[in-house]
Amino acid sequence: MVNQTTQEQPWQQRERDISKYDPQLLRDFLREMLLIRLFEQRCEELVFSNDIVGGVHLAIGQEAVSVGVIRALKEEDYVTGPHRGHHLVISKGVDLGKTMAELMGKADGICGGRGGHMHIADKSKGLLGVNGIVGGSIVMATGAAFTAQYLERDQVSVAFFGDGSANKGQFHECLNLASILDLPAIYVCENNGYAVETLVSYSTGVDNIAERGASYRIPGVIVDGLDVLDVYEAAKEARHRAVTDKRPTLIEAKTYRFKGHSIGDVENYRTKEEVREYMKKDPIGRLRVAMEDHGLINETEWNRMNEEVKAQIEEAVKYGLNSPEPDLTTALRHVLTLEEN
């Protein structure tokens, strides 16, 4: 875990004024980002112990994006995401034990063990699914936005996707359609600088992905994706625009993944120095220090929060480990239309 002690973090942006925010909201932000971070670190351990089988894409470092955006939404709003989606699942409130069981491929998983870490969905929470297809989340969210508009519901639909997806045809087609139809959609690009190993400046013909919104008469907003409050303010404005002005928004969150593309990535495409510099901007550490400066949290409270979150995660791990293996005779259920279904 990134060291978050004040003494070792000279980068801290102490100029941020957090006095206008509800202290409980700030504590919720901090706790949720910590929950995501420790959950993902525990997932990494479970991969190495073979309790989670297969590749896992961690969003360590990107916690502020999911927390900031989803906290600005209503519970009934739709969310879709890419293959790197644990942070979205947790922020949307999906049961932590059932999420862990799903990652382990167990019968008690939120998708019965069929989805794994790249295809978790929970329609009861408005999570229409994270998606292993690059750009797939954009298409799903656009369709959901049309549904909300057609049924005249006070809902918005949010697509999370990476910088690589912004170079796919689906991105341009869906933003064009959302503009034409005035869909209540928010497109959130988590620009972590790399599409697997490819540097975004090499693969993308504009300096900022948000600039592409202008081509479709959609506001393009750039936010500091390592600052949960910056993300939150932009997302609140985007939701208001979607329901009041009936216009979509493209948000580009400049963020960074502290881990490789997936577990086992040798990371020979970036330097350790680069990673260390970004880790100095840890979104959890930034918020914690700002709260300390305003007397909203102290070391004792921080340690208590850590212990409570760790206990919650261990309960989820226990639930997953104790869940039964799926019945192989039902493997094709919900996949193919069979008479037994």
Provide the residue ranges of all domains of the chain, joining segments of one domain with +: 34-265+312-322
Nearest to 307 by CA among 115, 299, 327, 324: 299
- 263: its two tokens: 């577990």
Q: How many residues does the chain have?
A: 341
Q: Is the pLDDT of residue 14 over 60?
A: no
d(CA 135, CA 197) in angstroms, rounded, equals: 17
Q: How far apart are CA 69 and CA 85, in angstroms?
A: 14
pLDDT value at 339 more than 70: no
| CA dist., res. 19 & res. 75, Å (int) | 26
The residue assigned the tokens 């990535």 is 265
- Residue 331: CB atoms within 10 A of its CB come to 13
Q: How much is the average pLDDT of 148-176?
A: 97
Is the pLDDT reported for residue 11 higher than 70? Answer: no
C-alpha neighbours within 13 Å on the C-beta side of residue 95: 14
| Ramachandran class of 84: left when φ > 0, alpha when ψ lies in -120 to 50, beta otherwise | beta
Closest CA to 161 of 91, 88, 100: 88
Binning pLDDT at 50, 70 and 90, where does residue 311 land?
very high
43-79 pLDDT tens trace: 999 999 999 988 799 999 999 999 999 999 999 999 9
Provide the token pair at 220: 């393009």
Q: What is the 3-state secondary structure (H, E, C) of the chain?
A: CCCCCHHHCCCCCCCCCCCCCCHHHHHHHHHHHHHHHHHHHHHHHHHHCCCCCCCCCCCCCCHHHHHHHHCCCCCCCEEEECCCCHHHHHHCCCCHHHHHHHHCCCCCCCCCCCCHHHCCCEHHHCEEEECCCCCHHHHHHHHHHHHHHHCCCCCCEEEEEECCHHHCHHHHHHHHHHHHHCCCEEEEEEECCEECCEEHHHHCCCCCHHHHHHHHCCCEEEEECCCHHHHHHHHHHHHHHHHHHCCCEEEEEECCCCCCCCCCCCCCCCCHHHHHHHHCCCHHHHHHHHHHHCCCCCHHHHHHHHHHHHHHHHHHHHHHHHCCCCCHHHCCCCCCCCCCC
Average pLDDT (229-253) is: 97
State the average pLDDT for the chain.
92
Q: How many CB atoms lie within 10 A of CB 33?
A: 26
Q: What is the mean pLDDT of residues 213-220?
A: 97
In which band, very low, low, confident or very high, does the pLDDT at 10 lie, cut at 50, 70 and 90? very low
What is the phi-psi region of residue 6: left when phi exceeds 0, alpha when psi lies from -120 to 50, beta otherwise?
alpha
Backbone angles phi, psi at 204, to 5 degrees: -120, 130
Reported as a pLDDT band with limits 50, 70 and 90, residue 278 is very high
Q: Among 3.40.50.970, 3.90.226.10, 3.40.50.300, 3.40.50.720, name the CATH number for the domain at 34-265+312-322.
A: 3.40.50.970
Please state the φ and ψ torsions of residue 313, each to the nearest 5 degrees. Answer: -70, -40
Q: Give the CA angle between residues 59, 63, 66 to the nearest 5°.
A: 100
Distance CA 235, CA 33 (A): 17
